[in-house]
Each structure stands twice: as structure tokens, then as C-alpha cells.
């Protein structure tokens, strides 16, 4: 599929208040194109609450329900139940940041997943709380500067996509702002799956990560090229790597060193070689964890190794 195959119809309108180079808004635009008109969007407190614009205006051209920070999955459950009861056909989509997903909203997310609500939950992961001015979240990587981790975060991030796999929901996928057609395809697929679906997008953020705003797509790609972000799908109990991550696993593409990716971002500028080493180790650990997952459930991908 080519980028030109993505429909021209816009549901995230120009003039929204996102920063230049914002991956979140770029990906939301793509997600809305993939689902189309009959979308009900649920948005918790986040950058999206801001960039959608102020009343009486709105930059989002589908029905939107803004909700509190911790309750997007439960609000969406109520909306879906109500629409089903009324016989209204719609895809109910949560569009939440990593703060709303990894931290304060995790309980509601896990419960909605366990209930297998017919919802598509999309987390745009910019690896911190942007809306409140760059604070750490559970998705912030080791070493990253934020305004609550001045000398760099001391812990590695957790992984909610993997938690969703552990919930054994019908569909889990990861995507990156570096590959919009891949995102589009995964959302199209998710749209047609019944039950709880979780898609997590790595969404670089120029002011939070401290890189020039014209390098967002590049950041999204470098993350995958260096193995800091891994693209995969989990569908009906089968795990498989996708896109460049698959090519890397199959040895068709070489994994780049993380240092290049880290040094492109001001938030990692202070890292020592020891810190970078810790991140390298973390990346290796994640790959071998996912390799186990792939080997355990899907023999075809079992040979991948990094």
C-alpha cells in the first residue's frame, strides 16, 4: 500500500492547535481516515484535549466525547453499550496518551480489555505527559530528562502493549509515527475485529523530546531501526513481527545502534556511556522477550534473534 492510497477525506481539520511536528495529531489524522465517518472518539485529558480546539470550535469532524483522565476505557464502554442498545452502528475509539493509558487509566483499560468490550483503544505514546509540560510517565524510557526526572529517569519503561497481549484480547498492534501506511493498515484491520482492540503508536514529540520539529517522521523511524520500538501484531493468539522489525528479526535488515537515536534527542543529551549501555541491554532484553513470545505461540517467527 502507498501513502497515496490513504483517503483524502479529512476528519482532523487544519487549524488545530497541535505543535508543529506533532506526531500525535498526524497519527490521529491517519487513524480517523482509516475508520471514517462513523467514529465516536473518546478523549481523556491530554494534548488532544487541547489541540482539538476550544469551544465553540472543534478541529475533529466526528463526534467526540472528552472525558476525565482516568476513565477513557470506561466512558467508551458506556458509550458503546448505549449505542448498541439503540442499534447505532459506530466504531467507538479511545484516543489516549501514555499517561492516560500506562498510569492513571490503566485500571479502567485492563478492566475493559478483560470484559472484551467492543472498543478500539489507541494509545499515542509520546513517552511522557506532554500536556502538563513534560513529566515522566510509566512509558518514559530510562535516562530521559523530564521536568520530574531532571537528571534522567532511573527506571526503564513498562510495556502496556505486552500487558494487553497477556489479556489475550482479539487484537493488539504496535505502530510508529514513522510509518503511517503501516498504522493505517493496522487500524483498518482493527476496525473490523470484534471485541477489545489495542493499538499503541510511538508518537515523538518535538518539544518534549527536544529535537527539531521537522524530524518527527525520522525519529519514528529511527526508533524502529534501532530496536527501541518494535512493530508487531497479536491476532487471535498469534504473535508476529511486522514491517522493519520483522525484516530485522529475519536478518534482512541490520539493527542500528541506539546511540544514534538517543543522541538525536536533547532529552538524552546528558547520558553517559554507561547509561547508553544500560539502554542497549534493555533493548536486547526486550527483543529476546518478544522472541520468546513469538516462539511460544507462532512457530513461523521462532527463528528470529538479535
Ligand X SMILES: Cc1ncc(C[n+]2csc(CCOP(=O)(O)OP(=O)(O)O)c2C)c(N)n1
Sites of contact with ligand X (CB under 6 A): 45-47, 69-70, 97-100, 126, 129-132, 137
Residue numbers at the binding site for ligand SF4 (CB under 6 A): 18-19, 22, 24, 47, 51, 126, 130, 205-208
How far apart CA 243 and CA 230 sit, in angstroms, is 9
By CB atoms closer than 10 A (0-12, 13-18, 19+), residue 74 is buried
Give which of ligand X, ligand SF4, another protein, none residue 63 binds (C-beta under 5 to 8 Å, depending on kind): another protein
Q: Residue 199 binds which entry of ligand SF4, another protein, ligand X, none, with Cβ cut-offs from 5 to 8 Å by kind?
A: none
Query: In whole angstroms, how far apart are CA 224 and each of 20, 112, 145, 186, 201?
Result: 22, 29, 21, 16, 12
Q: How far is the CB of 131 from ligand X (least distance, A)?
A: 3
Shortest distance, CB of residue 142 to another protein, whole angstroms?
Answer: 30
Q: Which three cell numbers stand for residue 177?
A: 509515527
Q: In angstroms, give the least distance from the CB of 107 to ligand X.
A: 13
- What is the Cα–Cα distance from 223 to 164, expressed in whole angstroms? 21
Q: Is residue 217 within 8 Å of residue 3, measured between CB atoms?
A: no
Q: Which is nearer to ligand SF4, 203 or 290 (CB)?
A: 203
178 vs 227 by CB, closer to ligand SF4:
178
Cell of 11: 476528519
Sign of CA dihedral 60, 66, 70, 72: negative
Considering the rule CB under 8 A, would residue 90 count as an interface residue with another protein? yes
CB of 165 to another protein, least distance (A): 20
Which of ligand X, ligand SF4, another protein, none is residue 46 near (CB under 5 to 8 Å by kind)? ligand X
Q: Per CB under 8 A, does 119 bind another protein?
A: no
Residue 283, H or E segment: helix 273-297
Amino acid at each position: 500500500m502507498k501513502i497515496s492510497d490513504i483517503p483524502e477525506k479529512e476528519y482532523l481539520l487544519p487549524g488545530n492547535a497541535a505543535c508543529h511536528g506533532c506526531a500525535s495529531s498526524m497519527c490521529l489524522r491517519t487513524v480517523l481516515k482509516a475508520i471514517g465517518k462513523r467514529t465516536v472518539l473518546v478523549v481523556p485529558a491530554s494534548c488532544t484535549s487541547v489541540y482539538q480546539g476550544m469551544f465553540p470550535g472543534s478541529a475533529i469532524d466526528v463526534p467526540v466525547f472528552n472525558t476525565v483522565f482516568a476513565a477513557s476505557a470506561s466512558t467508551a464502554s458506556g458509550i458503546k453499550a448505549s449505542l448498541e442498545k439503540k442499534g447505532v452502528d459506530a466504531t467507538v475509539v479511545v484516543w489516549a496518551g501514555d499517561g492516560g493509558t500506562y498510569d492513571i487509566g490503566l485500571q479502567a483499560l485492563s478492566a475493559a480489555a478483560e470484559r472484551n468490550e467492543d472498543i478500539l483503544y489507541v494509545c499515542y505514546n509520546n513517552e511522557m505527559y506532554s500536556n502538563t509540560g513534560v513529566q515522566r510517565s510509566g512509558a518514559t524510557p530510562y535516562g530521559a530528562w523530564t521536568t520530574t526526572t531532571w537528571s534522567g529517569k532511573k527506571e526503564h519503561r513498562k510495556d502496556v502493549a505486552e500487558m494487553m497481549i497477556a489479556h489475550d484480547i482479539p487484537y493488539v498492534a504496535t505502530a510508529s509515527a514513522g510509518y503511517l501506511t503501516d498504522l493505517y493498515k493496522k487500524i483498518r484491520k482493527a476496525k473490523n475485529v470484534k471485541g477489545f482492540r489495542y493499538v499503541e503508536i510511538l508518537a515523538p514529540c518535538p518539544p518534549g523530546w527536544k529535537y527539531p520539529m521537522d524530524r518527527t517522521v525520522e525519529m519514528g523511524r529511527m526508533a524502529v531501526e534501532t530496536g527501541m520500538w518494535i512493530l508487531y501484531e497479536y491476532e487471535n493468539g498469534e504473535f508476529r513481527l511486522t514491517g522493519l522489525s520483522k525484516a530485522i528479526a529475519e536478518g534482512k535488515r541490520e539493527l542500528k545502534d541506539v546511540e544514534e537515536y538517543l543522541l538525536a534527542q536533547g532529552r538524552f543529551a546528558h547520558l553517559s556511556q554507561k547509561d547508553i549501555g544500560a539502554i542497549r541491554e534493555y533493548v536486547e532484553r526486550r527483543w529476546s522477550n518478544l522472541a520468546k513470545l513469538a516462539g511460544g505461540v507462532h512457530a513461523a517467527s521462532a527463528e528470529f534473534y538479535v
